[in-house]
Copies of this chain bind each other. A is one copy, B any other.
C-alpha cells in the first residue's frame, strides 16, 4: 500500500514536515496549500527537495468552493483553478483535491455541477492534472460520498474522479449517513485518492470535530479496516494518505508525530488484511481469538490490486514479568525505595552480576531497582517486562511498527532480552521467561535467595503469569501472605504523547483500550486510560495484563523521566491474597501509608452501609474500598518516593476496576503531602 500524509497533520514549516515524513518512511505527501503559501521555498525548490527525499507529491489540496455557482463566478473559479494548475506543473504534481462547495454554493442542480466539474476537468487535462472531487460532511448541497460519485460519473471526464475521506464518510454514519458498502460499486480507477483519519466518538458539531479532534487510525473509534476493505475490493491502488487535523499534533514534535502517523498506517494495513481474511474465511469477528491463520492473512494481503503489508503475528501478553524503578546510586531516595520495598514485604534477591541493579520479589511480583540514574533526577518507573510467547517475533513486530529498539549490549552469560522504547521513554521488555533472574546473585539484604533464582531451565511464560505454576512464590518469610503478583502499572504520560501511547500499546502489545475516565485532582482533571488484555472467556477471572495511562494536567515536558513536575506520579500495584493481613504486616514493618482522611470513611459508610467492624478495620489501616457489579476492591497506597509510589490491592469476587471513585482522595492527599500539609484530621 502506498502510504501518504497531509502536511497539515504535522507541526513546523513545509520543509520540516517534508523531512519528517520522509524520515518516517512515507511514500508521499499531500501539500496543504497554506503550507506552501507560507513557505519561502519556491515550487521548483519543493519539487527538488521531494525528489531528493524520495517523497511523492501525491495531492495538492484543498481547492474550495468551486461548484454549484452562477456562470460569472464559475468563470472566476476556472481562472483561479488555472493558476493552481500552472503551479502544480512547477511542482510536478498531477492530482488536486476539489471539495464540495460550502461558502459560495447557490444553485442546487446536479446537472450543473457535473457540467462545471467537466469544464474544470477539461481545463485540468490541458495541464496534465487530475481532479479528485470530495464531499465534505458539511458541504452545502453535496455532503455524502455517493452523491459526489454520482456527479463524477455523470460528468464522465477521464480527468475527473472522486476522493474518499474516512472522516467525512464515517462521521455521518450515526446520524443516518450512507453505508460504506457501496464504495465497492465505484470503479477503482475512478477513486483518485483516499484519505484516512480516525476520531473519538463525540457529539460535537461535525465541523469542530473534524478540525480539532481527528486522530490517526487506531487512536479513535472509527471502523477503518472495514472501510479500507471496501476500498481494496473496489480495486483502488493509489495512496492511502492521512489527513488529520488535531490541535495536539500541530504543536508536538514533528518527527515524533510523523513516526506515530506511520505506525498508525502500518497497523491499519494489517488490520485491513485481517478484516479481509476474516470475511473471506468465514471466521468470527476480526480481532477475536479465532482470527485468520498466517496463511489466510498472507492470502488476504495479496488478494486485491492494493497490496497490504502484514506484520509478525503475536498474541496479547500473558503477564507482567517485572517492573523497573530507576534511582541514583547512593542517593537518599534510593535507600528510601529499598526501605519501602522491604516494608512492603519484598525480599531482596541480591545484586546483578555486573551492574548496580538489584532485584526484589514478593511472590511473583518482581521489582528491579536500577541505581544507574543521573544525580538530580527523581526516581521513576523506567522499564516494564511483559510475558510473551516469542520475544524475537514480538520485537520484530514492534520494530516494523517503528518502535525504537533499546540498545542493550549483552555481556557474556547474560540473557538476551528484546526491548523497545514506549513513547514516554519507558523501556518495554518482551520476556519469554524469568531466566534473567539468575543474573542476580549476591544477596545484600540477607533474605534467603529462592524462587526464580534457581529455576534456570524454566522457559514457559506461564511460570510467571499464573500464581499456581512453576516458580515458587512468596519466597521471603517477611511477606505478609501467600501469593502475590503485579496487578497493574500506572504510568503518567506527557500530554503530547497520549494518543501515541494508546496506539503503541494497542498495535505493538495487542492491549485493548477501554473508555477513558476523568478524575478530579486539586490541580485539575486527570484523564485515565486503561489498556488491558481480555478477561478469560465467559468468566470473572483475572486479566493477565492491566496498564493505566494517566494524562495529568501540567505534564508538559517530554524530557527524561524523573525530571518532571510534581503532578507526575506513577505506581506499581501488587495484588495479594489477603489485603488486611498484608496491610497489618506492612504496618508492623513501619511502612509509611498514604493517610486517608476520616471524612472518606464517613462518606463510605453513608454510601455502602458497611459492617462496623469492617469499617473500623479499613479506617484503622488507611484502606480504601470500592464495589462494582461483580465484586469489591480493597487497596492502599504508600507514600511517594520521587515520582513513584506503590499500591497493594485485593480483588474480591470478579471486581474488574481500579478503585476509580477513590482516585480523587489519593490525588488530594498526595497534593497535600507534597505541599507540606499536616496529614490526618
Contacts and interface: CB of A to CB of B under 8 A. Distances in A.
Contact of A13 (B39, B42, B251, B672): B672
Contacts of A675: 13
Given A525-B250, A672-B13, A38 B665 contact: yes
A250 B203 contact: no
A40 interface: yes
A247 B525 contact: yes
Interface string A64-83: 00000000000010011001
B681 A41 contact: yes
A598 B41 CA distance: 9
A205 B202 CA distance: 8
Interface in A523-568: 523-525, 553-554, 556
Contacts of A208: 202-203
B83 A45 contact: no
Contacts of A51: none
Contact of A599 (B39, B205, B605): B39
B523 A11 contact: yes
A148 to B, nearest CB: 24
A609 B80 CA distance: 8
Interface string A21-38: 000000000000110111
A607 B37 contact: no
B525 A597 contact: no
A499 B138 CA distance: 29
Contact of A602 (B83, B553, B598, B600): B83
A34 B520 contact: yes
Contacts of A211: 518
Q: How many copies does the complex hold?
A: 2
Contact of A598 (B13, B42, B672): B42
A599 B37 contact: yes
A525 B598 CA distance: 46
A522 interface: yes
Nearest to A44: B681
Contacts of A15: 677
A671 B40 contact: no
Contacts of A671: 12-13
A603 interface: yes
Interface string A656-668: 0000000011011
B38 A87 contact: no
Interface of A: 8, 11-13, 15-16, 33-34, 36-43, 45, 76, 79-80, 83-84, 87, 202-205, 208, 211-212, 247, 250-251, 518, 520, 522-525, 553-554, 556, 595, 597-600, 602-603, 605-607, 609, 664-665, 667-669, 671-672, 675, 677-681
B250 A679 contact: no
Contact of A664 (B34, B595, B679): B34
A303 B130 CA distance: 71
A470 B665 CA distance: 65
Nearest to A521: B250
Given A40-B681, A202-B204, A665-B37, A554 B251 contact: yes
A36 B668 CA distance: 10
Contacts of A76: 609
B40 A524 contact: no
A671 to B, nearest CB: 7
A647 to B, nearest CB: 17
Given A525-B250, A607-B80, A599 B36 contact: yes
B609 A45 contact: no
A677 B45 CA distance: 15
A85 to B, nearest CB: 10
Contacts of A202: 204-205, 208
Contact of A83 (B87, B600, B605): B605
Contact of A520 (B250, B609, B681): B250
Given A34-B664, A202-B204, A607-B80, A39 B523 contact: no
A36 B665 CA distance: 10
Given A45-B681, A602-B83, A606-B83, A597 B13 contact: no
A39 B664 CA distance: 10
Contact of A522 (B13, B247, B603, B678): B13
B603 A33 contact: yes
A277 B211 CA distance: 43
Contact of A205 (B203, B556, B667, B668): B203
B37 A251 contact: no
A13 B607 contact: no
A205 B205 CA distance: 10
Contacts of A602: 83, 87
Nearest to A675: B13
A8 B524 CA distance: 10
Given A13-B522, A204-B203, A609-B79, A38 B597 contact: yes
A274 B239 CA distance: 61
B600 A11 contact: no
A166 to B, nearest CB: 22
Contacts of A41: 599, 681
Contact of A668 (B13, B45, B523, B553): B13
B43 A599 contact: yes
The 8 closest A-B pairs by CB, nearest first: A38-B668, A83-B606, A251-B524, A203-B205, A250-B524, A42-B681, A251-B553, A37-B603
Contacts of A83: 602, 605-606
A79 to B, nearest CB: 7
Contacts of A42: 598-599, 681
A127 B488 CA distance: 44
A8 B553 CA distance: 16
A599 B597 CA distance: 64
Nearest to A673: B40
A333 to B, nearest CB: 25
